[in-house]
Amino acid sequence: MARKHPDWKPDLLRMHREEIGLTLEDTGEKLREIAERHGFKIAANFQTIWGHEKGSVFPGPHYRRAYCRLYRRNEAQLGFRKALPGEDAPVESVPAPASAERKLPDQSDAVRKALSSIHEGTGDVDSEALLNRVVNAWNSTAGASTDGPPMILVGGYAGSGKSEFAKFLGRLTGWPILDKDSLTRPLVDQLLVSLGGEAHDRSSKLYLEKVRPLEYRCLMEAAWDNLDCGIPVILDAPFIKEFSQADWMQRLQNRCRSKRVSLATIWVECDIESMREYIEFRGAARDAWKMEAWEEYAAGLNVEFRPQGPHFVVDNRLGAAVALVDEARDVLSGGGL
């Protein structure tokens, strides 16, 4: 059964388009330019855009992100959804830009705005210090720091946006990203088959007890190989089991302290409906079992989950944090109308 979008106001798309003087064809061309910069998968033909504006077709994730970049508004302001607390609400009009006098967005402000979605999950962490560390690395001025190399763990449920956020941190800082799936998936698929299982299984006892521990062991050993050489790392993995175990987190903190490694644990928060949309959209084979038994899978998700010990939280409910990342990336690449 198709999911409803009760807060959708499709007429706002047409209003924004007409107020900056774009035709449907112009809009499609600019959306395709944005898609090329960001790696979005959209055709952006005028029939589809017209369908979005009439309200007959609800835009998918990549279309919504592209529209946000084109009109420089968030999803709530474009009428796709209701605003989150503290988020800018829908606007009734947008002034047409004066191309000759248009002021380019400040890159540092855009970066800091994107990073502002990080906030303290516990009282013993400092989000401003982490933000400054990332910005300093982006400015290539962090070399004088007396701290050891940072290890940043970015965790979250499937479809939460953790990989998007990890990649954004990697682009800003130049720090290597160790993605669990990229590092281990081909071996994991073959190992499962050799043990009599299914290549894309991620829920059976065989996977959870025999294979999953090896995945995370490979990930952590690759991280330590880099850290031992003084190279920062960003780890991208769900970390559900690990973050829930106080003893595992304490051992990691102890090892980091002994090696003078600066540890930051980040949990990417997201709502269940948005996670479902992104899982469905990416269509990965490893997610097939989630979609086939969605109600059972969703019942096992705890949207209030937080890691044990010191940690940060990124609020990506309704894709809000990823939208800010898109905005910063667009500003840094010189994108615009």
**pLDDT single digits (tens) 228-277:** 999 999 999 999 999 999 999 999 999 999 999 999 999 999 999 999 99
Looking at residue 220, its amino acid is M
Confidence of residue 2 (pLDDT cuts 50, 70, 90): very low
Domains of the chain: 1-103 (1.10.260.40), 117-331 (3.40.50.300)
**pLDDT single digits (tens) 61-112:** 999 999 999 999 999 999 999 998 877 665 554 454 444 445 666 788 888 8
List Cβ neighbours of 312 (8 Å cut-off, separation of 6 or more): 118, 119, 120, 121, 125, 127, 130, 264, 265, 266, 267
Q: What crossing angle do the helices spanning 61-71 and 320-332 adopt, rounded to 10°?
A: 50
| Dist CA 254 CA 260 (whole Å) | 10
| Dist CA 223 CA 28 (whole Å) | 42
Which two tokens mark 25?
Answer: 């064809």
Res 66: pLDDT: 95
Confidence of residue 335 (pLDDT cuts 50, 70, 90): low
Asked whether the predicted pLDDT for residue 146 surpasses 70, the reply is: no
pTM score, two decimals? 0.79
Res 109: pLDDT: 85
